[in-house]
Structure formats: structure tokens, C-alpha cells
Copies of this chain bind each other. A is one copy, B any other.
Amino acid sequence: MAELTHFDDRGASRMVDVSAKASSLRTATASGLVRMAAETLALIVDRKLAKGDVLEVARLAGIMAAKRTGELIPLCHPLGLDGVEIDLTPRPPDALEIVATARLNGRTGVEMEAMTAVSIAALTIYDMCKAVDRGMVVERVRLEEKTGGKRGVYRRTDAGDGGEHPPAKP
């Protein structure tokens, strides 16, 4: 198994030197779920049709957090971003699915930006609904796909990675 590249050979943490890498188009897609009471999901869906929009607040929070990934994740490179999109889809009866895609022309990948977008969007949903449902759970935040860079495409498969990393038994 490969080394943990965020440490040098004496074990000191570092931001890995990518200055010699070529700049190329990178994309990454991550996803996650917010599990909640069915009544909470109904409340979110109904208010969206009516007046308040939890999903739009969460989407903006995720986009804004993606831009600040380099401030939050200690050894992440500070990156610009050429685009971020977040989809939030109700998964009745009791979950919201969040999918985020980040894009950049750069020397290193944007997986962390996509993962951060999903996580902060999920926490925002928790924040906005916690007064009615403190038991909500953020589930299954994971990388779905990445493209670009020397290693090329990564795509999560149900059998493959999923088999190796079964869902948590909490």
C-alpha cells in the first residue's frame, strides 16, 4: 500500500509540492445523505413549494464552503474553482440526497472541494431543521467520481468500493 503523501519521510506533515505537475482540467463529484424523520422531509418539501426554501440555503452554503476548502482542510492546496454545482433531491420517505460537482483547471484535484460542499450543505440542513428534528443523521458522504490529472478517471462502483466499505453499523 502506498505511503501517506501528506507526511515527509520523518513523519512531518506538509502541503505536498505540486509545482512540477501539469495544469489540466479536473472534476470531482461527491455525494451524501441526510437521514431524517419523514415529517421533517415533508416539511422541507412543502415549504419549498410554499415559501421558505431549506434546499436553496443549503445549496448556497455548500457552494460557499467549497470555495474555502483550503482554509478548512489543513494540508489541502488553496485552489480557485471554475465551477460548482449542487443538487439536492428528496429521497422519500426519510432522506435528502446531496450531490456536488466541482471543476478546476489546476495542478491538483478538487475531490476535497466536492466533499466539503456536500458536508456543509448537509450540516446546513441539519441547522435549519434541528428545532423540529434533532435526530437527523448525515450519512454516506463519499467521492463518486473524479477526472483529470495523471491518474485519470476514478469512478466508484457498487460492487467494488462499496463492497470494501459497507455502510456503518451505528
**In the complex, which of the residues B15, B81, B111 contacts A63, with contact meaning CB atoms closer than 8 Å?**
B15
Contact residues on A (Cβ < 8 Å of other chain), bracket: 35 or more
Given the known A-B contacts A7-B51, A123-B73, are A19 and B105 also in contact in the complex, defined by CB atoms under 8 Å?
Answer: yes
Check: A150 CB closer than 8 A to any chain B CB.
no
Q: State A13–B127 Cα separation when bound (angstroms).
A: 12
In the complex the two chains form, is A162's CB within 8 Å of B166's CB? no
CA distance A123 to B54 in the complex (A): 23
B contact residues around A64 at 8 Å (CB): 64, 71-72, 74
How many copies of this chain does one complex carry? 6
Known: A78-B67, A135-B165. A14 touches B72 (CB 8 A): no
User: 8 nearest interchain CB pairs?
Assistant: A11-B51, A135-B161, A139-B168, A17-B83, A7-B52, A19-B82, A138-B141, A11-B52
Chain A residues in the interface with B (C-beta under 8 A): 1-8, 10-19, 25, 32-33, 35-37, 39-40, 43, 47, 50-54, 56-57, 59-61, 63-65, 67-68, 70-87, 94-95, 103-105, 107, 111-112, 115-116, 119-120, 122-124, 126-132, 134-143, 146, 154, 156, 160-162, 164-170
Subset of 24 A-B contacts with CB under 8 Å:
A1-B43, A3-B131, A4-B129, A6-B57, A7-B51, A11-B50, A11-B52, A12-B85, A32-B138, A35-B166, A53-B56, A57-B60, A75-B127, A78-B79, A78-B80, A105-B107, A119-B120, A134-B156, A135-B143, A135-B164, A135-B165, A136-B165, A137-B140, A139-B167
